[in-house]
Amino acid sequence: MMIHQAMVLAAGLGTRMRPVTNSIPKPLVKVAGKTLLDYALDHLQQAGVETAVVNVHHFADQMLTHIAQRHDLRILISDEQERLLNNGGGLVQGIKLMPPGPLLVMNADLFWIGEQAGQPTNLQRLAQFFDPERMDMAMLCVKLQNTTGHNGKNDFNLAPDGRLSRYQENDPNPFVYCGALAMHSSLLDDAPEDPFNINIYFDRAIAKGRLYGLELQGHWVTVGTPEAIGEAEVVMQQHQQGA
């Protein structure tokens, strides 16, 4: 399927990124001259997304000014200035701004490099892979050796049929969650409007055998600390030199 709407989770305080985030919101941190938010929005736009919701809290005025400069897709604002809703509550509030249906969800502190020109993008592949009849969620996942900036821990085991389970030591096919997923908005019809962690729904999906994973093509970069900015720029330069 094609998925034309998305949400970018961008309202966090970025505490691990201090002191950088003492003056700017984390999604506006630049890596190789481009903001993390724009990496996420570019991935979505290249995948065919036409409408994206972005939630804002920390230095929201800076976020609004920056977002207003983009005209290649329709961007709606989910305002969390009065109350942070965590990733689950933020998603519940944000998707109310869009019609019911399938959507992509991305965190605003990560991106990937190395997609093959002329081939479907990772998010296009994820949208095509997602089957709401069989799946509550489909996640992009990556092998640990193809990550930069990650904490070194595996998140899930990917079974031969594509189903995900929480990683246990010695599992045969460990993967890291890439912070990007496909889902149908109806999955959250029973969700509270208070702050909560979306991991609750990951575990519910696992229990029903309805959490699936798709391996990322390329190299995944997450930027959570000031040191990670330089690490990301080094791996990007290496990739460009090797291309």
Tokens describing residue 212:
């699936």
**Percent share of the chain, pLDDT over 70:** 99
Say if residue 243's pLDDT is above 70: no
Query: Mean pLDDT throughout 147-167?
Result: 96
Please tell me the predicted confidence (pLDDT) of residue 144. Answer: 96
Contact predicate 147/220, CB 8 Å: yes
Domains of the chain: 5-242 (3.90.550.10)
Torsion of CA 27, 11, 131, 201, to 10 degrees: 140
Neighbours of 31 (CB within 10 A): 20
Handedness of CA 208, 175, 31, 17 (dihedral sign): positive
3-class DSSP state of 29: coil
**Residues near 187 by beta carbon (within 8 Å), at least 6 away in sequence:** 136, 137, 201
Which DSSP helix (H) or strand (E) runs through 71?
Answer: none
Q: How confident is the model at residue 241 (pLDDT cuts 50, 70, 90)?
A: confident
**pLDDT tens digits, 55-92:** 999 999 999 999 999 999 999 999 999 999 999 999 99
Which DSSP helix (H) or strand (E) runs through 180?
Answer: strand 174-184
Please tell me the predicted confidence (pLDDT) of residue 113. Answer: 97
Tokens describing residue 26:
């984390």
**Residues near 103 by beta carbon (within 8 Å), at least 6 away in sequence:** 3, 5, 6, 7, 95, 182, 183, 184, 185
Give, in order, the Cα–Cα distances in Å from 51 to each of 97, 107, 139, 158, 180. 10, 16, 20, 31, 16
Cα separation, 8 vs 10, whole angstroms: 6
**pLDDT tens digits, 21-52:** 999 999 999 999 999 999 999 999 999 999 99
Q: In degrees, to the nearest 5, what angle opens at C-alpha 145 toward C-alphas 141 and 151?
A: 75
Say if residue 1's pLDDT is above 90: no
Out of 10-19, 51-60, 87-96, 177-186, pick the least confident: 10-19
Query: Mean pLDDT throughout 85-108?
Result: 97
Say if residue 211's pLDDT is above 90: yes
**Residues near 131 by beta carbon (within 8 Å), at least 6 away in sequence:** 138
Say if residue 193's pLDDT is above 90: no
Torsion of CA 103, 95, 69, 42, to 10 degrees: -20
Please tell me the predicted confidence (pLDDT) of residue 177. Answer: 98
